[in-house]
Every structure is written in C-alpha cells, then in structure tokens.
Amino acid sequence: MKEYSTFVTHLECSFTGKTYPADQLHGLSEAGKPLLVRYDLDALGKAIKKTDLVERAPEFWRYREFLPIRKSENVVRLGELMTPILPAKKLQSELSCGEILMKDEGRLPTGSFKARGLAIAVAMAKELGVTSMAMPTNGNAGAALAAYCSRAGIETFVICPEDTPRVNIEEIAFQGAKTFLANGFINDCGKVVGDGKEAMDWFDTSTLKEPYRIEGKKTMGLELAEQMGWQVPDVIIYPTGGGTGLIGMWKAFNELEAIGWIGSKRPRMVAVQAEGCAPIVKAFEEGKRHAELWQDAATIAAGIRVPAAVGDFLILDAVRESDGFAVAVSDEAIDEATRSALKKREYFCVPRELLPWQH
C-alpha cells in the first residue's frame, strides 16, 4: 500500500467559515451548507512542480497532490483520461467570433463529466469506511456512482425522477445499483435519500452534500489550465444544474494562483440554464445571493433540471466575482441547436451540452 502525500488541513463551511476535522465522514456543515476541502497550499506548492506532471499518466489522478486521497489502495480507476479540447470551427465561423473550444467530457467513464466527481467521492468514501452510498439523480451522476461503487465494492442506492430517460435508468441498474423511481423532481428524490439515511444506513452522496465531488470536478480546472499552457480561457460557458463543476473549476483556479502556477486572470464564468428551470438565472438577474425553489420545472435538458441547488450562492459568487453572467435558453433553441450540430456534422451533443451554443 502506497501512502500519497496529502496536504489537506481541514474542511470549511463555505458559508460561515467554521472549520471541521478532515479524515472524518461529513455531510453538510452545521449551517446546512457545503463543506470545502482546504489545503496547506504553501507546502503543496513546494512539493510539486509543473514539470513533475510530464512523467505522469494522462488522467486526472495525475493531480493527486491537489486531491484528498491518502492511500493508493482506495483509488478507484475505470480508465479515466485527460479529455481533449476540440475546436468548434464551424460554429466559430457562423458566429464570426473569436476562438471557440469544447472540452469533450464524453470520453470519461460512463460518458460524462460526472465521473470526475464520483471517482473522488467514492474513493474517499472507501477510505473513510463507507459501505453504502445513495443519491438522487437525473441520470448521469447515478450511472457514475453505480460504476465506481461497483468497482469499489460499495452498495449503491439511486433514486431517479419517474420521467428519467429509460436508457439512464437501465445504465444505472445494469451496473449494480438498487434503482428506484420517485414521483417528482430531483429535489424530491433528494428528500427520499435524506429521509432514508438513518433507516437504511447509507451515506448521502447528493450534489454538494458531501465535500469530495467538488474536488473531483476541480480537476476540470486543473486540466484546462495545464492543456492551455498554464493559462486560463477568457470565458467558460457552463450548463448549470447543481453547479458543482463551475464551483470546482473556480476553486481550482484559486488554488493554482496560490501556488504560483497561474496569474490573477480568471475566466468570465457564465452559467447557462433552460428557461423552464432557471433558478440561478433568476437570482442573478434579481441581484440575490440565494436562489428560490423553481416551481414546476420542465425542460428537455433533463440533466440540468435542478429546481434548487444547495450551492446556489457559490455559483453566483463565482459568476459575479469573475464579471460573468447567467442566461436562460428556451427548449426550442436547445432543440434547434441539437439538430444544427448534427446536420453540420461537427459534434454530437445531448441537449444539456447544446445550451452554451444558443447564447
């Protein structure tokens, strides 16, 4: 068994700043807000150089000093890789704008960026002795949890809205998760998970209700910076539901600046939602730090149909601090973008990924 050098010092409530000990199992803070992993960044910066990465495998585990796992035996691998950045030249020409790049997260295990967050969350659950995990999902996160838990030997329970696409439900179930459908939206499924914690003795792995999915999503930001020669993009346009990826990338850029690997420049962070479920957009436009529950959410972009995000204020903080913005797109525009992308044979994308194309 190999011990990794870890620079984790503590966990911190993202809202109050109260600290919590690392190496213990935690959900939300006492304030009911997400916990963030904090590191001794001075020590981390002295322990690793950019050139050290050259000899490492092209996977997100290459950033292990930036991650909380202590023991190599707890790392759960399913063939992760650094995902490519692809030029969208036809779209760029059509819009007569600057360079447009797309990061193809579909190359990851289970076909989505959800693998990043769940790989780290499951590894840490294994390290902390968890034997059963549960989550609500619109599809992709549940598939990733099922896959990584299956490899780790952890029992899995997944609760989906009853209108979740059949292909997603089957993908989750075929990978060994006990899969259930609930009447309502993902927040209703989340209530089922939360209410069942004591009776079922499972660990609630809902978005931002444990500290480590953010750390996995953080690797998107680390990877982007490395792939761009330790620069950052001018703008990041991000389809936003729970927003863990946007929050994680923002955390990555802050940590990279702290150790001197990038400068103070930040991308403008743009949160894109569907008009039928746009709580973050509404809060942004109204100048609020917290979003209200979105009633009667409905959109073809099922993966981002999140009526209430636990980390709403973290999303909005990153958007505002970066001089970014939030925008909503109609289902008609999303559908047209999907058809247009296929017709032009540039890239095949699901509706959620086509949201940024319409702004």
Domain membership of residue 228 (yes or no) is: yes
Instruction: Note the pLDDT of residue 354.
Output: 47
- 153: buried, middle or exposed (CB in 10 Å: 19+, 13-18, 0-12)? exposed
Domain membership of residue 87 (yes or no) is: no
Query: Residue 345 — pLDDT band, cuts 50, 70, 90?
Result: low
Q: Which long-range contacts (CB under 8 A, 24 or more apart) does 11-19 make?
A: 11/35, 11/36, 11/37, 11/38, 11/211, 12/36, 12/38, 14/311, 14/313, 14/314, 15/313
Q: What pLDDT, in 10s, does the model give residues 19-37?
A: 999 989 999 999 999 999 9
Query: Residue 86 — pLDDT band, cuts 50, 70, 90?
Result: very high
- 37: buried, middle or exposed (CB in 10 Å: 19+, 13-18, 0-12)? buried
Q: What pLDDT, in 10s, does the model give residues 106-136?
A: 999 999 999 999 999 999 999 999 999 999 9
In this structure, are residues 185 and 276 in contact, taking their beta carbons and an 8 Å threshold?
no
Domain membership of residue 56 (yes or no) is: yes
Query: Residue 301 — pLDDT band, cuts 50, 70, 90?
Result: very high
Query: Residue 337 — pLDDT band, cuts 50, 70, 90?
Result: confident
Pick the last residue of a domain from 26, 41, 69: 69
Residue 184 CA to residue 287 CA, distance in Å, equals: 29
The structure tokens listed for 212 are 């480590």
Domain membership of residue 79 (yes or no) is: no
In this structure, are residues 80 and 109 in contact, taking their beta carbons and an 8 Å threshold?
yes
Domain membership of residue 206 (yes or no) is: no
Higher pLDDT, 341 or 155: 155
Higher pLDDT, 25 or 90: 25
C-beta neighbour count of 185 within 10 angstroms: 22
At position 257, the amino acid (one-letter code) is: E
Pick the last residue of a domain from 69, 95, 120: 69
Instruction: Note the pLDDT of residue 336.
Output: 87
Domain membership of residue 1 (yes or no) is: no
Exposure letters 142-152 (e unless 16+ CB within 10 A, then b): bbbbbbbbbbb
Q: What pLDDT, in 10s, does the model give residues 133-158?
A: 999 999 999 999 999 999 999 999 99
Pick the last residue of a domain from 47, 69, 91: 69
Total domain count for the chain?
2
Q: How far is CA 217 from the centre of its chain?
A: 4
Domain membership of residue 218 (yes or no) is: yes
For the chain, what is the mean pLDDT? 94
Helix 140-152, helix 114-127: angle, nearest 10: 40
Q: Is the pLDDT of residue 341 over 90?
A: no
CA dihedral sign of residues 272, 275, 280, 281: positive
Domain membership of residue 130 (yes or no) is: no
Query: Residue 356 — pLDDT band, cuts 50, 70, 90?
Result: low
The structure tokens listed for 67 are 């991650």
Which domain does 17 fall in, by range? Answer: 8-69
Average pLDDT over residues 217-230: 98
Instruction: Note the pLDDT of residue 344.
Output: 64
In CATH, what number is assigned to the domain containing residue 228?
A: 3.40.50.1100
- 358: buried, middle or exposed (CB in 10 Å: 19+, 13-18, 0-12)? middle
Beta-carbon contacts of 65 under 8 Å, excluding residues fewer than 6 positions away, are 4, 5, 6, 7, 44, 47, 48
Instruction: Note the pLDDT of residue 4.
Output: 78
How far, in Å, are 66, 160, 211, 320 from residue 250 at the CA level? 14, 29, 15, 12
Q: Taking Cα atoms as reference points, which of 143, 140, 182 lies closest to residue 159? A: 182
Instruction: Note the pLDDT of residue 149.
Output: 98
Instruction: Note the pLDDT of residue 340.
Output: 77
Instruction: Note the pLDDT of residue 348.
Output: 61
Question: Dihedrals φ, ψ of 134, to 5°?
Answer: -140, 150
Beta-carbon contacts of 249 under 8 Å, excluding residues fewer than 6 positions away, are 217, 218, 220, 221, 224, 236, 238, 269
Q: Give percent above pLDDT 90 in the chain.
A: 88
Instruction: Note the pLDDT of residue 177.
Output: 98
Average pLDDT over residues 5-31: 97
Least confident span in 5-9, 68-72, 89-93, 280-284: 89-93
The structure tokens listed for 63 are 């950033």
Query: Residue 293 — pLDDT band, cuts 50, 70, 90?
Result: very high
Please list the alpha-helical segments (H only) found in 159-237.
Answer: 166-174, 186-195, 197-200, 212-227
Average pLDDT over residues 295-302: 93
Query: Residue 349 — pLDDT band, cuts 50, 70, 90?
Result: low
Residue 223 CA to residue 123 CA, distance in Å, equals: 20
In this structure, are residues 31 and 23 in contact, taking their beta carbons and an 8 Å threshold?
no
